Amino acid sequence: MRYAIFGDIHANLEAFQTVLADARAEGATDFVCLGDIVGYNADPVACMDIVRELGCPVVKGNHDEQASEDSDLAYFNPLAARAIQWTRDRLTQEQKDWLRSLKFSRLVRNFTIVHATLDSPASWGYVVSDLDASASFSYQHTQLCFYGHTHVPRAYVRDLRVNEHPATSLLIEPGKKYFLNAGSVGQPRDTDWRASYILYTPATQLVEWRRLEYDIAATQAKILAAGLPERLASRLSEGR
Ligand code: ZN
């Protein structure tokens, strides 16, 4: 058994298809989605269809929430707000209902998944420091939890205290707890434009982060053709 754990797809079909092909080539048997299927890029429906066909566990992201409601977008940054409105205009009521039905956190086998934080999953805070991770760890009842939202692959490990580890690969050790960010499939923000996701193999307790080049030019051309803000295309190349 090997899990492919991915999130922040953000309607980037080329990046998502590349991740799924790599995961299958690496022997992934199970798929897990950390939320934010839609938003920013131009293929929300195709990406949602794929996730639903996988039939995998999914948690709700803040863009999934916003795209499925008619709430005021005043508190979103203008780029995100324009993309959310564009996305709302393309989803059917059934698709919005499905997004709205997603839970904030879930137990998968013996690990937890959440989009943003475990201490307040519906508030969409960002875990970017040892302190943020400590708050989340106090609500983590499994040894492992996978999250997203920051679009930056990262590993927090709680032993006697909380430490950050490089998001390359790590072995799960007894007595420690892990809060692991899979990075973003469709809009990485660690200045590396390549799609990011995690492979987790329970039998060996190995967690590996994968980074993959994809057809970014095709994604950018679709963004421009859709009339979405030009900045949403250019930021992809910069990985921010
Ligand atoms: Zn996101």
Residue 221 has a pLDDT of: 98
Distance from the alpha carbon of residue 73 to the mean position of ligand 1, in angstroms: 16
Q: What is the pLDDT of residue 75?
A: 80
In contact, 42 and 10? CB cutoff 8 Å:
no
**Number of independent structural domains in the chain:** 1
Between the CA of 17 and the centroid of ligand 1 the distance, in Å, is: 18
For residue 132, which of 117, 142, 145 has the smallest C-alpha distance? 117
Q: Rounded to two decimals, what is the model's pTM?
A: 0.96
CATH of the domain at 162: 3.60.21.10
pLDDT at residue 150 in the model:
98
Other Cβ atoms closer than 10 A to 23: 23
Range of the domain at 171: 3-238
**Separation of CA 175 and ligand 1 centre (Å):** 31
Q: What is the pLDDT of residue 58?
A: 98
Give the environment of ion ligand 1: residues with CB less than 5 A: 8, 36
Distance (angstroms) between ligand 1 centre and the Cα of 83 equals: 12
Distance 8 CA to ligand 1 centre (A): 4
Q: Residues 14-53: pLDDT tens digits?
A: 999 999 999 999 999 999 999 999 999 999 999 999 999 9
pLDDT tens-place values along the chain, 240 residues long: 999 999 999 999 999 999 999 999 999 999 999 999 999 999 999 999 999 999 999 999 999 999 999 888 888 788 888 889 999 999 999 999 999 999 999 999 999 999 999 999 999 999 999 999 999 999 999 999 999 999 999 999 999 999 999 999 999 999 999 999 999 999 999 999 999 999 999 999 999 999 999 999 999 999 999 999 999 999 999 999
